[in-house]
Every structure is written in structure tokens, then in C-alpha cells.
Amino acid sequence: MELRNIAIIAHVDHGKTTLVDAMLRQSGTFRENQQVAERVMDSNDLEKERGITILAKCTSVEWKGMRINIVDTPGHADFGGEVERILSMVDGVVVLVDAAEGPMPQTKFVTGKALGLGLKPIVVINKVDRGDARPHEVHDECFDLFAALDADDEQLDFPTMFAVGRDGWADDSLEGPRKDLSALFDLIVRHVPPPTRDLDKPFSMLATTLEADPYLGRILTGRIHTGVVKTNMAVKGLDREGNLIENFRAAKILAFRGIERVPVEQAEAGDIVCISGMTKPTVADTLCAPEVTEPLKAQPIDPPTLAMIFSVNDSPLAGTEGDKVTSRVIGARLAREAESNVAIRITEQASRDAFEVAGRGELQLGVLIETMRREGFELSVSRPRVLFQTGEDGERQEPIEEVFVDVDDEFSGVVVEKMTLRKAELTGMRPSGGGKTRITFLAPSRGLIGYHGEFLTDTRGTGLMNRVFHGYAPYKGAIEGRRNGVLISNGTGEAVAYALWNLEDRGPMFIPSGVKVYEGMIIGEHSRGNDLEVNPLKAKQLTNIRAAGKDEAVRLTTPRKMSLEQAIAYIQDDELVEVTPKSIRLRKRLRDPNERKKAERASKDV
């Protein structure tokens, strides 16, 4: 059977996963009466909740006697490590662009990688039924983007289709019949070249994704580069330098058929398959026949730009809500994550009960913490810090991000002002239709930590902000941090409504009454710039005099609840976020007030 391998790449929320759903339905992968979840490719709980794709996934459809392997890729720059690896498995890309928003930063990031590998693009302008759609302008913007990314003449001569993925149609022109996706399937078969199938050479395959299965053990997925692999065949793993990692037998070979993986006896060059049976080889290693000595070239991965410290939870409430609390268990889980996610780097700290986790961005690290929390882990995490580099001239350099902001015209002034305070440099500003302005900045990653929540408040929840890693530039100088201090509990017990009511004049609370608190835990924000120790345990003194009842009812203001990402962005360097399966708490790194005073004096003396 003839093969085609394609990846669908696009910005967040431009409709990749919905389009793949429609392709699966129309190719006969599902029965007419089969009940299938919406966005079937987003199978992970976090993906369903957030409505985003986090992990690259593979599926396949059959069309007119030909198999098309389709890879659905994440749209956030934080998960770019996933995208870079899987592009080596395909021969063409479908670039999906929103008919109103046009090419966005993530489109630019992934398309640049695809064009650099020489892949031939097909542009699909999706959501042409939107009231503010401007398909022809967006087509011109795509051409300008490809030209700016140094596409060659063949890549610039790309075919374009107009579509509404939700309604399941795509056509060569806006005036087409708008019936189904058959025109898109035919274009993929025509435009994407078949994989090179060198069956005479010995078997070799580059591993691009790794997962653990409770029955099959380690499973590596990739595209077979040369030769044929058969079940139970002798295979070895080579690292990037060509050193032998392990000899093993291919216990199971799984091929993609629709949304399921089906065991097959053998697979040939060009096909995307999963192989089990190994214990050591990992992502970017080469699986090959015993006679092969040269490893396949792996795509270089952009370096991490942010780091956080994951440490053992040592609060008085440690171990009461989670069952995975020791440094050994946390270390093993992080090592597993680093194996399958090449964009993450783990370093054990000298204290042995803490690990530095470096990654692409706040979202990527936030998803890792949320995943661990759901698995029953308890841990403390520090404020993210950026990873600096030293330039060739010995100059200190920091990561810079390109930031694209779409806001209503009335909010553009406040956004420019706030970004300037964060050492951002304005690089472009233009109207984007419908009373909106698109503003482009080059901003240090440091300044963007924790800004997203403030940005949504400033734009009344209507603004859109997208970021993508731009490069390293000389250090931009100090950036002002949080202006308010915090309210710190001076005792351990359960918070009392009467005490919290009396503290409301001091600032907004983060906790409701009846919640367990401990010494050193942050329970609210101080209305002034300094930290204040308070007593949330103080109950009302009872007397034997009956009151009129006016002051009996305590009405508390609703506390400010923070999500995990908001909590991580809020804390300062001397604070931690305590994460458990049931709670997210803020605390001081040093719980004892005397220890905190000593540390403060020591920092002033330095």
C-alpha cells in the first residue's frame, strides 16, 4: 500500500484537532453509528480541560487505497520540543491558519522549522465562515511569512485551500461546493511526496517519542528510515555519537490504523510504527539492525530558558494529602519525564532533596507540576528564574521572547506602558480590524513571568497575548517585581472566620475560614509594601452578656483563589508554592520569623 506522512501544524486554537476529527470521520475510520468523543486526538485529561494539545499524536486514514499517516502537533511554543522531533517523521506539512487572525507566532515558529527541513507546505485557511474572516489577505500574509522564513521557490509555490474544519469541508476556492474534505485528501496525495523506501538496506529508525505501557514496557515511536523490521528480530540501540546502548529483540511492532495501534508482523521503510522490547534506548536514539554502525542524525533541540526548583514538601501538613512525598520518588518521576521530553533538563541539587527543572516556559513547567500533582505527588516549587548565557565577548545574555498582543484600541496604551516597565522594546503596531490593534514587542523572559494575569485584568479579559522564543540578547537591567507584601500566619491550626474578618482591612485574603494553616504560610496580600505577621486563629472572646446581635454575623469577602500558574507567578524568591493533590498553598521558604529576619540582615550585609 502506498504511503503519505504529513503533520498538521498551526497556532493554538486554529482548529488542528477538530480538522483531524473530520478527516477520521470522512475516511471511514469510524462506523456511522459509532459514539466518538469530540476532539478525539486530545486524549489526555489536561488537554481536554484546557482545550489545548500538549503531546504530539499519530493517527492514520485510508483514502482510495492509500494510507495517510497524520501527526497532530501542539500549538504552544512551550511544547516546541515535541514539534521539532516529530517533523523528522513526515514528508509534508498542512499549515492551518485562522481566516481572521492570520499567521500567528506559533505558526511562524513551527513553519520555520518545517521549511528548514525542506518539507513542502499545503496552506489551509480555516474558519472562513467567521464574521471577521479575511481569507485573501491571510493568504497574502502566509506568502509574506514563508518569504521571510527563507522558503525556496518550490515551497513558495504552495497550494491553498479554504475550509471550515468544524463543518467538515475544504475547497480550492471560496465558491466551491462546500460538501466534504475529499479535495483536501486528493491534494495531500498529489502534493506530498511518498517516503523514500530503501528496502534493500538494513533496518534503521530514529526514535522520536517515548511512552511507558503497563503491559509492553517501554515503547518508542518513529519512522522507519531504511529496511524492514519483523517481530522478534534482533535490534540494537545507538546513541547520537554511535555508541551501543543495548541489544534487544523487537517484542512487539504496532502500526497506526485510525486512532488505534494494531500489532503487525513486519513494517517497512517509510511507515510510522511503535516498537517495544528495549529497556534503555530513548528519544533521539537510533534503533537498527546489528550490522548498522552509523546513527541517524537527530534534530537539535532549542535549549531551555526557564528553571524552577522542585523540592520535598517540608511543611507541617506534609504527607496528609499525597502519598508520593520522598525525594527518591520525586527524582525518579522527574528522570522519567526528562527521558520522554527532550526539552526538559533535570539537575540534582547539593542538598539531595531538591531538583532544578529547566524547560521552555511557565506553561510547560506548570503542566508537569499539575500532572505530578494528579499522580499523588506532594512537592514545593520555587519562583521560575531565567537561564542566562555568557556571550562570546564575556557579556551576560538573557533569553528574549517575541510577544504578539491583540487588544481593543482603548487598551493599547496601558499594555505598551506595562510592557515598557518590563524592559520590552516595541517593534511594531498596526490596526488588525474590528477596532483592534496588533502590537509586537521584543521582551526579556524575566519580565513576562507573571504578567499574563495582569494583562487580562488590564484588557478586561479581551486581550490575546502570544509569545515565542526569539534568541539571547545582552542583559536589560533590573525589573521591578511585586509591589505588595504578604500576610503571614504566626500560628498553626484552623483559620477562624472572626480573625479573617478583622484582617480584611489589611488586604485581600487567599484562604476561606476553616482551612488548616501553619506558621510561615501566606494567607493574604498586604495592602502595603512590607510583609506582616498576623494571627488567623484568634476567636471572638465570649462573655455572659447577651448582645443585640448586630455584630454576631461575620460576613467574609470571597477569598482570592489562585490557579497553579498564578501562584507560581505571584511568589517572590524567598517564597514557595506547596503543591499537593488537594491544595495549592503559598508559604515563606523560611517558616520561622527569626530565621527570616536573620536571612534578611545577611542579604543586606552582602
User: Do the domain assignments include residue 583?
Assistant: yes
Mutual orientation of helices 362-374 and 327-340 as an angle, nearest 10°? Answer: 130
> Of 6-10, 274-278, 479-483, 576-580, where does mean pLDDT reach its minimum?
479-483
Sheet holding 2-10, edge to edge: 57-63, 66-72, 2-10, 92-98, 120-126, 160-164, 169-171
- Calculate the CA dihedral of residues 576, 579, 584, 589 and round it to 10 degrees: -20
279 and 210 both lie in a single domain: yes
Residue 126 labeled ligand binder? yes
Q: Say whether pLDDT at 84 is over 90.
A: no
pLDDT for 56: 44
Whole-angstrom distance, CA of residue 520 vs CA of residue 497: 19
b/e string for 292-325 if b means 16 or more Cβ within 10 A?
beebbebbeeeebbbbbbbbbbebebbeebbebb
Is there a binding annotation on residue 196?
no
**Would you place residue 57 in the very low, low, confident or very high pLDDT band (cuts 50, 70, 90)?**
low
- pLDDT for 32 equals 42
What is the three-class DSSP state of 382?
coil
DSSP secondary structure of 443-475: EEHHHHTTHHHHHHHHTTT--EEEEEEEEEEE-
Q: Is 285 annotated as a binding residue?
A: no
Angle at which helices 16-26 and 182-191 cross, to 10°? 100
Answer whether residue 549 shows pLDDT above 60: no
The pLDDT tens digits for 117-166 are: 888 899 999 988 888 888 999 999 899 889 888 889 999 999 999 998 88
Q: What pLDDT was estimated at residue 471? A: 85
pLDDT at res. 300 = 65
412: domain CATH number is: 3.30.70.240
CB 12 within 8 A of CB 75: yes
Are 210 and 265 in a shared domain?
Answer: yes
17 is in an annotated binding site: yes
pLDDT, tens digit, for every residue of 252-266? Answer: 999 888 777 889 999
| Per-residue confidence band for 53, with pLDDT thresholds at 50, 70 and 90 | very low
pLDDT of residue 50: 41
Among candidate residues 166, 191, 216, the one where a domain is terminated: 191
Q: Using alpha carbons, select from 74, 58, 63 the residue that is nearest to residue 28.
A: 63
Give percent above pLDDT 90 in the chain: 36
Tell whether 470 is covered by a domain. Answer: yes
Cβ-contact 99, 133 below 8 angstroms: yes
- Average pLDDT on 545-571 reads 77
Query: How far apart (Å, rounded) are the C-alpha atoms in residues 32 and 232?
Result: 37
CA distance 579 to 425: 35
Residue 344, C-alpha cell as written in the block: 526538559
15 annotated binding-site participant: yes
What is the structure's pLDDT at 35? 40
In tens, the pLDDT along 296-325 reads 887 666 678 889 999 999 999 998 998 999
For the chain, the average pLDDT equals: 84
Domain assignment present for residue 376? The answer is no
Residue 367 dihedral angles phi and psi, to the nearest 5°: -65, -40
Higher-confidence residue: 566 or 537?
A: 537
pLDDT of residue 431: 84
Residue 41 vs residue 263, higher pLDDT: 263
Least confident of 215-224, 306-315, 369-378: 215-224
Q: Which helix (H) or strand (E) holds 147?
A: helix 135-148
Distance CA 11, CA 8 (A): 10
Contact 56, 71 (CB under 8 A): yes
* Alpha-carbon separation of residue 563 from 13, 49, 306, 327, 566 (angstroms): 21, 13, 20, 25, 5
Residue, of 72 and 291, whose pLDDT is higher: 291
Q: Is 13 annotated as contributing to ligand binding?
A: yes
Nearest Cα neighbor of 158 from 125, 127, 133, 117 is 125
Task: List the CATH number of the domain containing 99.
Answer: 3.40.50.300
Q: Measured between alpha carbons, how far is 572 from 589 in angstroms, rounded to an integer?
A: 10
pLDDT at 44 > cutoff 50 = no
Last residue of a domain, one of 160, 191, 222: 191
Beta-bridged to residue 534, according to DSSP, are 489
Does the residue 480 lie in any domain? no
Span 23-51, average pLDDT:
49
Please indicate, yes or no, if residue 293 is contained in any of the structural domains. no
Q: Between 58 and 460, whose confidence is greater?
A: 460
Q: Is the pLDDT of residue 448 over 60?
A: yes
Weakest-pLDDT range from 89-93, 188-192, 296-300, 517-521: 296-300
Give the count of domains, the chain: 4
Alpha-carbon gap, residue 345 to 340, rounded angstroms: 11
Residues 209 and 98 in one domain: no
Q: Are residues 48 and 140 in the same domain?
A: yes
Q: Is the pLDDT of residue 43 over 50?
A: no
Q: Considering only residues 13 and 487, tell me which one the structure prediction assigns the higher pLDDT.
A: 487
Confidence class for position 592, pLDDT limits 50, 70, 90: very high
- Domain that includes residue 35, residue range: 2-191
* 447 and 515 housed in the same domain: no
For residue range 470-527, list pLDDT tens digits in order.
888 999 888 877 778 999 999 999 999 999 999 999 999 999 999 999 999 999 999 9
Q: What is the mean pLDDT of residues 550-563?
A: 78
Query: d(Cα 548, Cα 551) in Å, to the nearest integer?
Result: 8
Residue range 530-543: mean pLDDT, rounded: 87
**Residue of 94 and 569 predicted with greater confidence:** 94
- Rounded average pLDDT over 73-84: 56
Is 16 one of the annotated binding-site residues? yes
Residue 532 has pLDDT above 90, yes or no: yes
Same domain for 12 and 74, yes or no, is yes
Indicate whether 272 and 134 sit together in one domain: no
Which CATH number is 587's domain given? 2.40.50.250
Residue 41: pLDDT band (50, 70, 90) is very low
Q: Is the pLDDT of residue 212 over 80?
A: no
- Tell me: do 84 and 225 sit in the same domain: no
569 and 501 within one domain? yes
Q: Does any domain span residue 425?
A: yes
pLDDT class of 33 with cuts at 50, 70, 90: very low
pLDDT 10s digits, 224-258? 999 999 999 999 999 888 899 999 999 999 988 87
Sequence-ordered list of residues with C-beta below 8 angstroms from that of 388, at least 6 positions apart, any chain = 396, 397, 398, 475
242 labelled binding-site residue: no
- Write the CATH number for 248: 2.40.30.10
How far is Cα 232 from Cα 249, in angstroms, rounded to an integer?
5
Half-sphere exposure of 457 (CA within 13 A, CB side): 7
| Mean pLDDT, residues 340-362 taken together | 84
Is 60 exceeded by the pLDDT of residue 52? no
Selection from 374, 459, 361, 450 nearest residue 401 by Cα = 361
* Domain presence at residue 249: yes
Would you state the pLDDT for residue 381? 94
Does residue 311 lie in a domain region? no
36 with 105, same domain: the answer is yes
Domain boundary among 474, 503, 522: 474
Quote the pLDDT of residue 40.
Answer: 39
Reference 213, options 261, 266, 246; nearest CA is 261
**Comparing 56-65, 212-221, 281-290, 581-590, which segment has the lowest mean pLDDT?**
56-65
pLDDT for position 197: 81
End-to-end CA distance of the chain: give it in Å, rounded: 71
14 known ligand binder:
yes
pLDDT of residue 452: 78
178 and 219 share a domain?
A: no
Residues 177 and 88 both lie in one domain: yes
- Residue 13, pLDDT score: 66
172 marked ligand binding residue: no
